Amino acid sequence: MRVMGVDPGLTRCGLSMIESRGGRQVIALDVDVVRTPSDEPLQRRLLTISDTVDHWMDTHLPDVIAIERVFANQNANTAMGTAQAGGVIALAAARRGIDVHFHTPSEVKAAVTGNGRADKAQVTTMVTRILQLQQKPTPADAADALALAICHCWRAPMIARMAQAEAMAAEQKRAYQARLKSARTLKAAK
Amino acid sequence: MRVMGVDPGLTRCGLSMIESRGGRQVIALDVDVVRTPSDEPLQRRLLTISDTVDHWMDTHLPDVIAIERVFANQNANTAMGTAQAGGVIALAAARRGIDVHFHTPSEVKAAVTGNGRADKAQVTTMVTRILQLQQKPTPADAADALALAICHCWRAPMIARMAQAEAMAAEQKRAYQARLKSARTLKAAK
């Protein structure tokens, strides 16, 4: 499974590509940070990010995109730009029929370091170790994008089981309601 | 000038197209509300909005897009979705080289009703009157999209004058700094 990790942002947007080889074995294929100047109009910045992401998706052909879930309560001003960047990236995936999953920062930290409140340095250290990189990835956005993709690779089996369980529950509910309806119809007919 | 007004949102996204005929004369060309089901994945919802907006832009060929500026402090959860929807719409405009302007809700209310704190009913009433519509536009998102486009038509001359003044100030600053530099070079050479 090939996973593209995205740490969305307008000023710096971290992108990574990771290949999962079963179990916890993961290999880094690529990592980069897209930068857009803050004095450019918003729509131009989004276009730069979108064009870069299009190129990444068409070059690496990922099976799934893992994007960091943004919360508005962190820093209101940057959160909106981050949401807009994440939106255009999710759109690029939808245009190609690629699945998109969102992971919260604490899910990512917990997956990679075992601690949902780990700091940036701990995340970078663990990412470097897990992927057996020669150097620590910089800036932090690059490390975060790699951590996101690793997090998705490791959580994917659990997410798949959850989706299966939910689908089964929905099917059972549908069957139960159908039985209930036919029982009522029979009763009314008597 | 043809202005497309956008009241961004995931559940309901208001779209309008208005033609400005100089002065305060404005004519409504089209208005609609795009709805996407809340149980669909985010990327699918963004794709529906993006496809509809693409179609609108290619059909009506607007000169400029006016989008409501979203603030994170209103409702954190819906604000993120609204920002994402606004982002993909700004991106669609950037792909076509169409200018994008953002207006705050109070700028829109002030432009249309004369009161920056007007309620939705007042905005709808004034939009109906200004555009000489036979019926009040519903839902509120449709009226808001029309109000946004009207707001842009009426603020556009002021925005153009501001941009001109800013460009002139930047040019004067550049010329002053060039003079300063050459004076210093002369002084150093003496």
User: pLDDT, tens digit, for every residue of B116-140?
Assistant: 999 999 999 999 999 999 999 999 9
AA letter at A190: K
Neighbouring-strand partners of residue A27: A19
The answer to whether A62 and A2 have CB atoms below 8 angstroms apart is yes
Mention every residue, 6+ apart, whose C-beta is less than 8 A from residue A15: A4, A5, A6, A30, A31, A32, A33, A34, A52, A53, A56, A145
Neighbour-count burial for B127-146, b at 16+ CB within 10 Å, e otherwise? bbebbeeeeebeebbbbbbb
The answer to whether B32 and A76 have CB atoms below 8 angstroms apart is no
* Residue A7 a catalytic site member: yes
Distance CA B88, CA B82 (A): 10
* Residue A54 a catalytic site member: no
Q: Do A43 and B80 touch (CB under 8 A)?
A: no
- Residue B159's pLDDT band (boundaries 50, 70, 90)? confident
pLDDT of amino acid A74: 64
Nearest to B80 among A46, A83, A94 (CB): A83
For chain A, which domains are there?
Answer: 2-189 (3.30.420.10)
The predicted-structure confidence for B91-100, as pLDDT tens digits, reads as follows 999 999 999 9
Chain B: closest CA distance from residue A47 (Å):
6
pLDDT of amino acid B48: 98
First to last CA, chain A: 57
Q: Do B42 and A90 touch (CB under 8 A)?
A: yes
Distance CA B182, CA B186 (A): 6
pLDDT of amino acid A73: 66
pLDDT top residue among B17 and B24:
B17
The answer to whether B47 and A91 have CB atoms below 8 angstroms apart is yes
Considering only alpha carbons, which residue of chain B is nearest residue A102? B42
Which listed residue (A19, A32, A40, A68) is catalytic? Answer: A68
> Interface pTM (ipTM) of the complex?
0.84
As a dihedral over the C-alpha atoms of residue B132, residue B137, residue B143, residue B148, rounded to 10 degrees, the angle is: -40
Neighbouring-strand partners of residue B33: B14
Spatial CA neighbour of A142 closest among A127, A157, A152: A127
The answer to whether B62 and B17 have CB atoms below 8 angstroms apart is yes
Q: Do A84 and B80 touch (CB under 8 A)?
A: no
Chain B residues 74-103 with a CB less than 8 Å from chain A: 76-77, 79-80, 83-88, 90-91, 93-95, 100, 102
Distance CA B152, CA A175 (A): 53
Nearest to A91 among B50, B79, B80 (CB): B50
Considering only alpha carbons, which residue of chain A is nearest residue B42? A90
pLDDT of amino acid A36: 97
Q: Which of A12-26, A66-80, A120-134, A137-151 shows the lowest per-residue confidence on average (mean pLDDT)?
A: A66-80
Nearest to A94 among B47, B79, B94 (CB): B47
